[in-house]
Amino acid sequence: MTRARRQRKSLAIAAGLGLVLIGAATPLLPPAHAATTQRIVVDELRGLALSGFDPVAYFTDAKPVIGRGELEYSFAGVVWRFRNEGNRAAFVENPEVYAPVFGGYDPIALARGVATPGHPQIWAIVGDRLYLFYSAEARKAFTANPDTMLAAAERKWPAVLQTLSP
């Protein structure tokens, strides 16, 4: 094998190893692509709250369900989608009940003073309120001791909120 060929082969192996390492660091779920400068987490690509998932479905179906484009409602300057008219009507009547707490930011990150968008497919309902999390590990930590985690997040939330756009 010539020297030039050995160098090309070494570069190809190094590049392949780099791609493998990058792939290993990639989360299993697609990133939320959410803005971290807004009071409510918004999908930057589509401009939707909860990346287009129906906020009421978390309560009625016990799972995230994609909303329909023809069933939208604007609340707090953000567009929310719903899977049916009943869910839309329930949200319009009581948005504070169905919207995620802390605007969809992860309460574990908030407890550390950081605005980290929660992922709409990593969630929990605790005390009849919806919480979103950045990772399954954060959800597990939260659900293991929700009172302590909520108290910490609520203490930090006012300061974090000041860093977010109105």
* pLDDT band per the 50, 70, 90 thresholds, residue 44: confident
Q: Name the maximum alpha-carbon separation found in the chain.
A: 75
Task: Tell me which of 112 and 2 has the higher pLDDT.
Answer: 112
Give the list of residues 6+ apart from residue 165 with CB closer than 8 angstroms, or none. 37, 38, 39
Any idea which of 6-10, 111-115, 116-120 has the lowest mean pLDDT?
Answer: 6-10
Residues 57-76: what's their mean pLDDT? 97
How is the chain split into domains, by residue range?
42-162
Task: Tell me which of 74 and 165 has the higher pLDDT.
Answer: 74
The 3-state DSSP class for residue 120 equals strand
Report pTM.
0.78
Q: How far apart are CA 70 and CA 76, in angstroms?
A: 19
Instruction: Evaluate if residue 27 carries a pLDDT over 50.
Output: no
Instruction: Evaluate if residue 47 carries a pLDDT over 50.
Output: yes
Give the torsion sign (CA, 34, 155, 58, 141). Answer: positive
pLDDT at 25 (0 to 100): 34
Residues 62-88: what's their mean pLDDT? 97
Residues 121-137: what's their mean pLDDT? 98
